Structure 1
Amino acid sequence: MASINFFDRLGNLWRGFVSLWIADVEKKHPEIAYENAINSLIGKYTKLKSATAAIIRRRDEIDHRVEAERQSLAAVNRDLEAALATNQDDLALVLLQKKSAVEAELSGLAAEAEQSKVDADDAKNALLSVKSEIDKLKGERDRMLAKMQSAQARIQIQSQLDGLSVEADVQALDKVRDHIKNTISEANLGKELRDSDLDVRLDKLRQQSGSITARAQLDELKRQRAAQAAAGKQM
């Protein structure tokens, strides 16, 4: 007994591992899961279609039997009328018994025919329901797989974008910026050093002194000319 329980548990464990493995495969390949589900429904549809065909055939056979019994009853009624019209009582008695048997058979067949119609309608509705489910599942498969492909494409693009590194280019540009700033600073420093040089300052001072002397000489010349002009007018 213990050995049987052990092997049962081992079998359950193995089936569990297989089920998990299949579930993982279906997650990675959902089209397989959809195809399996659709094929399962198609198999169910095929079997149900055969069963429905058998039910419809039985319904048609019962309808034919009902029609045959109705024709038989009509013939018995005609024969009974003829027997009564010709006073053939013995034949009329036989026909009455036959009429009762046909009516009983017809009554039973009518009930069977009604039930067979209900069964046929139910089977056809079930068949149409399964077919509708197959169509819905196919539509869902197409939509979901399209969405998954779109999501995978987006993930791939995002991964590629994440993998693109511009850090080296940015660092190179930063170095260029630093170089430009250093060059400008060097140029400014040269000007500052030149302005602070003593010789340069002395030259500037001389230039300023020369300008002051020239201005004084110009003012003196203007004063002398003005004085001469005033003296000429007095004479």
Structure 2
Amino acid sequence: MSSVNLMARLANLWRGFVSLWVSDIEKNHPEIAYENAIRGMVDKYTKLRSATAAIVRRREEIDARLTSDQRALDQVNRDLEAALATQQDDIALILIQKKEALDAAIAELNQDMQQANGDAEEAKSALLSVKSEIDKLKAERDRMLAQMKSAQARLAIQGQLDGLSVDAEVQALDKVRDHIKNTVSEAKLARELHESDLDVRLKKLQSQSGNITAQAKLDELKRQRAAQASTQRQM
């Protein structure tokens, strides 16, 4: 008894594992879940259509029997009128019995026909309902899978944006900026060092002295020319 209980518990445990495994697969692949659901609905629709066809066929068979019995009853009524008109009582008695049997059969067939019509309408309604559910499920599948793909695309883009780092590019530019600034600073420093060099300062001083001497000579020449001009005017 305990082994039977153990096997039952193991079976339930296994079914639970399988159910969770299938559930995880369907979450990761929703198209599989929708296809399985649609396939199940289509199988149900196929079976229901076969059952509906059988009900419709039974209704057609009842209708054919009803038509045949009604035709036979019409003939019996005509024969009965003829037998009564010709006073053939023995034939009339047989026809009356046949008429009663046909009346009972037709009454029963009418009940069967009414039931068959109801069954057929109910089956067709159920068939249309299942087909409508299949169409709705297909439309939902297309809509939901489209939304899923759109959401996945957005997540992928967001993931790329989140993982996109400009630190390396910024650092590279910072290094270039630093290099340019250092180069400019080195150039300024070289110029300042050049200008502060003694030889440079001496050459600069000599250049300035030469300018002063030339300016003095120019002033002297101007003074001499002015003196000569004044002497000539006095003469």
TM class by smaller structure: 0.7 to 0.9
Q: What is the aligned partner in structure 1 of residue 204 from structure 2?
A: 204
- 1:64-92 residue CA offsets vs partner (Å, 9 max, x unmatched): 11111210121122112223332445544
Equivalent position of 1:119 in the other structure: 119
Residues 102-111 or 68-77, more deviating = 102-111
Unaligned runs of 5+ in 1: none
Tell me by how many angstroms 1:7 deviates: 4.7
Deviates more, 1:146-155 or 1:203-212: 146-155
Distance in 2 between residues matched to 1:115 and 1:129, nearest whole Å: 21
Which residue of structure 1 aligns with residue 50 of structure 2? 50
Inter-CA distance 228–104: structure 2 relative to 1 (3 Å threshold): farther
Q: With structure 2 as the length reference, what TM-score do the two structures score?
A: 0.77
Q: Which amino acid aligns with 1:20?
A: L
Deviating beyond 6 angstroms after TM superposition, the runs of 4 or more aligned structure 1 residues are 156-166
Cα deviation 1:61-119 (Å, max 9, x = unaligned): 11111111210121122112223332445544553454344233323322321221221
Letter in 2 for 1:130: V
Q: Percent identity?
A: 69
Equivalent residue letter for 1:213 = T
CA distance in 2 between counterparts of 1:69 and 1:20 reads: 62
User: What whole-Å deviation, never above 9, does each CA across 1:23-66 have from its counterpart, x for those lacking one?
Assistant: 12222333432332233223222221221121011110111111
Once residues 115 and 180 of structure 1 are traced to their aligned partners in structure 2, the CA distance between those partners, rounded to angstroms, is: 99
- Residue 109 of structure 2 corresponds to 109
For the residue of structure 1 that corresponds to 2:44, the secondary structure is helix
What residue identity is the alignment partner of 1:85?
A
**Distance change in 2, residues 1:80/1:226 (3 Å):** farther
Question: How many residues are matched?
Answer: 235
Shift of 1:20: 0.9
What whole-Å deviation, never above 9, does each CA across 1:191-230 have from its counterpart, x for those lacking one?
0112223332333233233323323432343344344445
Q: What is the TM-score normalised by the length of structure 1?
A: 0.77
1-structure distance, mates of 2:146, 2:83 = 80
Q: What are the residue-to-residue correspondences of 1:88-103 with 2, within 5 Å? A: 88-89=88-89, 91-103=91-103
What aligned pairs does 1:38-77 form with structure 2 within 5 A after superposition?
A: 38-77=38-77
- Tell me what 2:20 maps to: 20
One-letter code aligned to 1:204: K
Deviation at 1:169?
6.1
Deviation per CA, 1:161-216: give whole Å up to 9, x if none.
87787766655554444333322221110101122233323332332333233234
Distance 2:128 2:169 in 1: 65
Alignment of 1:73-92 (within 5 A): 73-89=73-89, 91-92=91-92
Deviations 1:139-171 (A, max 9, x none): 544555565556656666776787787766655
Instruction: Give the drift of 1:19.
Output: 1.2
RMSD: 3.5
Structure 2 CA distance for partners of 1:84 and 1:214, relative to 1, 3 Å: same
User: Residue type of the partner of 2:15?
Assistant: R
